[in-house]
Amino acid sequence: MVSESKPSTANNANKARTPKLPGKPKKEKKPVLLPPHPPETSLELLGWIRRPQLTALGKLGITTLRGLLEHYPRRHEDRKRFDHFPDTECERSYCLSGIVGKTVFRRFGRMRSFEAEIEESAGSVLSARLTLRWFNLFHVQKSVITGSRLIVHGKVRHRGKRLCMEHPEFEVVTEEDRQSIHLDRIVPVHPAGEGISVRVIRGLIHRALIETDWSGWIDPLQHQEADWGTALRNIHFPESLEMLEPARRELALRELLGIQTLVTIRRNEARKPRGAAKSSQGDLLSAFLKALPFALTGAQQKSIAMIREDMARTHRMHRLLQGDVGSGKTVVAAAAMLTAVEAGHRAILMAPTQILAEQHFRNFQHWLEPLDIPVELLTGARKTKSTSNPTTHSETKRSGVVIGTHALLHNAVALQGAGLVVIDEQHKFGVLQRTQLANSPSAPDVLVMTATPIPRTLAQTIYGDLDLSILDEKPPGRGTLRTAARTSEKLPEIIAYLTGQLEKGRQAYVVYPLIEESEKLAAKAAEAEITVWSEHLSPFPCQLLHGRMNAEEKKSVMESFVQGHTKVLITTSVIEVGVDVPNATFLLVENAERFGLAQLHQLRGRIGRGAHISTCVLIEGSGNPEAMERLRILEKSSDGFVIAEEDLRLRGSGDILGTAQSGLPPLRIADLYRDADLISVASREAERILKSDPELAKPHHAPLRQLRVEYALRLATTGG
Sequence-distant (6+) residues with CB within 8 A of 223 are: none
Q: How many residues does the chain have?
A: 720
| Least distance CB 527 / ligand ADP (angstroms) | 28
Q: Which does 419 bind (CB under 5 to 8 A by kind): ligand ADP, Mg ion, none?
A: none
Cα–Cα distance between 108 and 110 in angstroms, integer? 6
Per CB under 6 A, the list member of 319, 329, 567, 612 interacting with ligand ADP is 329
Per CB under 6 A, the list member of 53, 327, 507, 572 interacting with ligand ADP is 327
| Least distance CB 476 / ligand ADP (angstroms) | 6
297 binds ligand ADP (CB under 6 A): yes
How far CA 394 is from CA of 344, 359, 387, in Å, comes to: 14, 20, 12
Sequence-distant (6+) residues with CB within 8 A of 406 are: 350, 352, 380, 429, 433
Residue 601-620 contact track with ligand ADP, rule CB under 6 A, x = bound: --------x-----------
Helix (H/G/I), strand (E/B), else coil: 215? coil
| Least distance CB 370 / ligand ADP (angstroms) | 16
The amino acid that residue 285 corresponds to is L
Strands 111-120 and 129-135: antiparallel
Helix (H/G/I), strand (E/B), else coil: 162? strand
Supply φ then ψ for residue 93, to 5 degrees.
-85, 145
Residue closest to Mg ion when measured from CB atoms: 578
Sequence-distant (6+) residues with CB within 8 A of 630 are: 593, 597, 650
Per CB under 6 A, the segment of 22-30, 225-233, 323-331, 594-602 that binds ligand ADP is 323-331
| Least distance CB 639 / Mg ion (angstroms) | 18
Per CB under 6 A, the segment of 487-495, 553-561, 574-582, 664-672 that binds ligand ADP is 574-582
Q: Which does 580 bind (CB under 5 to 8 A by kind): ligand ADP, Mg ion, none?
A: ligand ADP
State in Å, rounded, how far the first CA of the chain is from the last one: 25
Strand partners, 162: 159
Residue numbers 423-462 binding ligand ADP by CB under 6 A: 451
Q: Which does 64 bind (CB under 5 to 8 A by kind): Mg ion, ligand ADP, none?
A: none
| Least distance CB 363 / ligand ADP (angstroms) | 8
What are the start-end ranges of the E strands in 372-480? Answer: 375-378, 385-386, 400-404, 418-423, 445-450, 467-471
Residue numbers 474-513 binding ligand ADP by CB under 6 A: 475
| Least distance CB 469 / ligand ADP (angstroms) | 12
Nearer to ligand ADP, 480 or 624 (CB): 480
Binding-site ranges for Mg ion (CB under 5 A)? 578
Per CB under 6 A, the list member of 234, 303, 330, 614 interacting with ligand ADP is 330
Q: Which does 53 bind (CB under 5 to 8 A by kind): ligand ADP, Mg ion, none?
A: none
Per CB under 6 A, the list member of 57, 163, 173, 325 interacting with ligand ADP is 325
Cα–Cα distance between 416 and 443 in angstroms, integer? 10
Q: Which does 406 bind (CB under 5 to 8 A by kind): ligand ADP, Mg ion, none?
A: none
How far CA 190 is from CA of 40, 57, 233, 621, in Å, comes to: 21, 12, 14, 34
Which residues of this protein are in contact with ligand ADP, per CB under 6 A? 294, 296-297, 300, 323, 325-331, 451, 475, 578, 580, 582, 609
